Amino acid sequence: MLHYVTTNAGKVREAREYLDQVTPLDYDYQEIQSETLAPIAAYGARAAFEHVGEPVIVDDAGLFIDALDGFPGPYSAFVEETLGVEQVGQIARAQQTDSDRASASFRCVIAYCDGESFGATPEPVDRGRRGQDLAADERATATTDDTVDSGTVPVKLFEGTVLGRIVEPRGEGGFGYDPIFEHNGTTFAEMTAEEKNAISHRGRALAKFGDWFAKR
């Protein structure tokens, strides 16, 4: 049994398209605060594994707006609940200049934990809150994944990122910031789940996880 631990129904819909063997588990693990996603996902995966005692994946994701220095980033869920998606879009577009057309990236880190070790590897690299290293290159599949083995319980990480720009809300699909995130002329909310998965941060991270997990 592989549990996909989340309280977010939108994430579950997308994950099930990729991994049919995955079972959604609505467990609200305590989230640590960090300027980067990887430690949050890793900590959550450990906590969730200790809770269920079976293999888990945790998905930590966020929207990083370049003109706002990576805001809301790891705080995306909180900011969605407080400011709201539309207002985040307005702030981002107000910051827009000719050279910086409210460019942004969605990032996702999938953390897997089953209590086993994956071999000795380093702590995850801190890529900075804007995630420049990833966003600078859209070949998200080429990014290095890390294993966190120095804690008590090892965690394996898979990252995905997608570049886009912030626009006025369009579309009814998806969830969260999808209506204001445009990629190649289409917002994520205007795409079908399949279209979004094929290019999204989550889809890319899940694809990498799926390849690795199939061999495990």
CA 85, CA 82: separation in Å to the nearest integer? 9
Residue nearest to Na ion (CB): 77
Interface size with Na ion, residues (CB under 5 A): 1
Burial of residue 116 (CB within 10 Å: 0-12, 13-18, 19+) is: exposed
Nearer to Na ion, 77 or 83 (CB): 77
Residue type, 185: G
Residue nearest to ligand ITT (CB): 176
Task: Please pick, from the candidates 45, 47, 80, 134, the single residue that binds ligand ITT as defined by CB under 6 A.
Answer: 80
Structure tokens at 123: 């702590």
**Strand 186-187 relative to strand 181-183: parallel, antiparallel, unpaired?**
antiparallel
Nearer to ligand ITT, 33 or 152 (CB): 33
Region binding ligand ITT by CB under 6 A among candidate stretches 57-65, 93-101, 110-118, 145-153 = 57-65
- Kindly state whether residue 61 participates in binding ligand ITT, applying the rule CB under 6 A: yes
CA 8, CA 3: separation in Å to the nearest integer? 14
- Residue of 167, 60, 41, 194 lying closest to 104 (CA atoms): 167
Task: Please pick, from the candidates 76, 143, 161, 187, the single residue that binds ligand ITT as defined by CB under 6 A.
Answer: 76
Identify whether 60 is a catalytic site residue. yes
- Kindly state whether residue 12 participates in binding ligand ITT, applying the rule CB under 6 A: no
Residues that bind Na ion in the complex, under the rule CB under 5 A: 77
